[in-house]
Amino acid sequence: MPHNPVAPEFRAALKALPSFDGLSDATLEETRKAFISAIRSVRVARHPDVLVGECHVPGPAGAPDVPVVTYRPVASSPNAPALVYIHSGGIVSGTPEVDDARCR
């Protein structure tokens, strides 16, 4: 039997996603919409012990604001340590929604 490096608990989610062989002649907007549609097709478990917040921070001059999503335990203190995770998606398809399930 061939070795599958993907953890068993992630295999079903990966099978649910459409094949993505890289960029195509589609416009950037079409590529982003297709990618987000694939991400939304995978069910994300909601955890009652995690608070999710959303805001925007200013981008560089002339650029759009950057969406920011925060995840914290309900029982955390205001001075709790933080982990900052930044993923640009190759500046093509990165959005906070892409990593939402992993962060919860």
Tens digit of each residue's pLDDT (9 = 90 or more) over 19-40: 666 656 667 778 778 778 877 7
In a domain, 51, yes or no: yes
Please indicate, yes or no, if residue 78 is contained in any of the structural domains: yes
15, pLDDT greater than 80? no
Q: Specify the 3-state DSSP secondary structure of 55.
A: strand
In a domain, 96, yes or no: yes
In a domain, 85, yes or no: yes
pLDDT tens figures, 80-104: 888 887 765 556 666 777 777 777 7
DSSP per-residue codes, 65-102: PEEEEEEEETT--TT---------GGGTS--GGGGHHH
CA–CA separation, 95 and 100 (whole Å): 9
Number of compact structural domains in the chain: 1
Residue 1 placed within a domain: no
Domain assignment present for residue 69? The answer is yes
Tell me if 3 is assigned to some domain.
no
Cα 104 from Cα 51, distance rounded (Å): 9
Q: Please report the pLDDT score of residue 92 as a whole number.
A: 65
Collapsed DSSP state (helix, strand, coil) of residue 50: strand
Range of the domain at 55: 8-103
